[in-house]
Structure 1
């Protein structure tokens, strides 16, 4: 039971980490994309 519990904790931690990082990564990529675009004012 202990190993199953540990793997459950590990899975949920990885899921949380992925959910935390994904929006930041996509936001950073879109910011890079926007900043690399030639802006015509």
Structure 2
């Protein structure tokens, strides 16, 4: 997935309690925070 110039795979690994539509609306900084908490990587370019 690409969001605000960031490629990420968070949407593939979300717990059921976290709706995908909610993540899609996140800003890049917030998305990076979520990725950090979930120990996922985001490649920004």
- Structure-1-length-normalised TM-score: 0.32
Larger relative strand fraction: 2
Pick the structure with greater CA Rg.
1
Larger relative helix fraction: 1
- Structure-2-length-normalised TM-score: 0.29
